[in-house]
Amino acid sequence: MKKVKVTFNHETCIGTGTCATLTTKYWQMGDDTKSQLIGGSLNKKTKVYELTTEVDDEDYSILKETQQFCPSQSISVKEIK
């Protein structure tokens, strides 16, 4: 298991739904046609949504794909050591 921090900038999201297509475990489309990070909390200082969780290698790989394929680069996935 890996501990990861996922950050998501809702303001820069352009709503293509790529992340939600890759995995509905962590992403869903909101009523505003933009993605939502499931379980994420808004950091009022940085104004981005954050989720810190433990994932297996498969979920880590999928989350990294959501980061890689996000056209607006609104997603960041970092392993916490």
- When pLDDT is cut at 50, 70 and 90, the band that residue 44 belongs to is very high
Tell me the whole-structure pTM to 2 decimals. Answer: 0.95
Total domains in the chain come to: 1
CA distance 54 to 44: 23
CA distance 72 to 54: 25
Q: What is the CATH number of the domain that holds 14?
A: 3.30.70.20
Residue 35 structural domain: 2-80
Q: Is 24 helix (H, G, I), strand (E, B) or coil?
A: coil
According to the model, what pLDDT value does residue 60 have?
A: 98
> In the predicted model, what is the mean pLDDT of residues 32-58?
98
Tens of pLDDT, residue by residue over 2-40, are 999 999 999 999 999 999 999 999 999 999 999 999 999
